[in-house]
Amino acid sequence: MTRVQQPRSKLHGKVVLITGAASGIGAATALEVRARGATAVLLDCDAEPLAQVALQCGADTLAVVADVTDLPAMEDAVAQVLARFGHIDMVFANAGVAAFGPLAYVDPNAWKRCVEVNVFGVFNTVRAALPSIMRQRGYVLINASVSSFAHPPVMSAYAASKSAVEAMGDSWRIELAAHKVDVGLVHAGWVSTPLVTEGALHPGFVRLRATMPGPLNSETSPQAAARAIAQGMERRLSRIWVPGWLRLLFALRALLHLPFAERELRRAAPQIEAIYLEGLEAEGALASSFGPRERERTLARARGPVSASSWHPPG
């Protein structure tokens, strides 16, 4: 029997820089693009889990430890990639954090950090990689989340940041078209990542999710999300939906914050606030506003800055 040869992926031979690559969507996407023949360059501020993902990706994988909010560190990271591979064809600005809490009580520094990572981190990532992307007539992809158009209470920093990067991506798509650079946005719902898992540790977050009907509350695996993202990269799509039916919700976005659509959230908001205040009294502002990983990062930053350093698997 003659074996039918599968067509080679359009990602084959491409150099793809992925931020937030130590876990969740970023890690799964790194493995997926690697399976499709791309060279995955991994960037994250968490060194140990990043090294583990790099080992899974293979011996030619470059992993760079850097903070996306530091533009010089991102420029240095890109310089390391260019020194190793000569060019960058695609960049996936995926790194993100979430801050949780009512406006009156959320830790202001946590709110600010969420915007710094999710907005300025995207700017720094794309700005640093753009000269090579333009030379390659490449592709820029940004994780905008479903929160770019569906704005839950007590997550104002996250919703604001994702709305901002959606606007940035839409603007850049027009700007860069003449340079033959395509720009895409990932609109993902609940994906089973550490960000979502840590959210489940907060009773207020659990109450928030309880307001959402079945389809809006279902989770997608990181692997399924990565497949959709890699397929979108191959086609250089302007929008990637995870899951696909979210395109319908996007089409109805003008209705999402009319009174009838907000009814259940308005009912739940006082309960969520009360739960948050209980945690605030018991655990303090930082613990109430951030999940465990970002709390630890906050404490680590207080001990000293993270500089851009690289690592790649032996072999």
Residue 148, helix vs strand vs coil: helix
> Quick one: DSSP state of residue 180?
T
Q: Which residues contact 40 (CB under 8 A, 6 or more apart)?
A: 16, 18, 21, 30, 31, 33, 34, 57, 61
Q: How many helices and strands (H and E) does the chain possess?
A: 14, 10
Between CA 174 and CA 265 the distance in angstroms is 35
Question: Do 290 and 298 form a contact (C-beta atoms < 8 A)?
Answer: yes
| Single-letter code of the amino acid located at 189 | G
Q: Which two tokens stand for residue 203?
A: 């009773």
Determine whether 105 is an active site residue.
Answer: no
Catalytic, out of 105, 139, 158, 276:
158
Cα-based distances in Å from 175 to 75, 133, 183, 186, 227:
21, 14, 10, 19, 28
SS3 213: coil
* Active site residues per annotation: 158
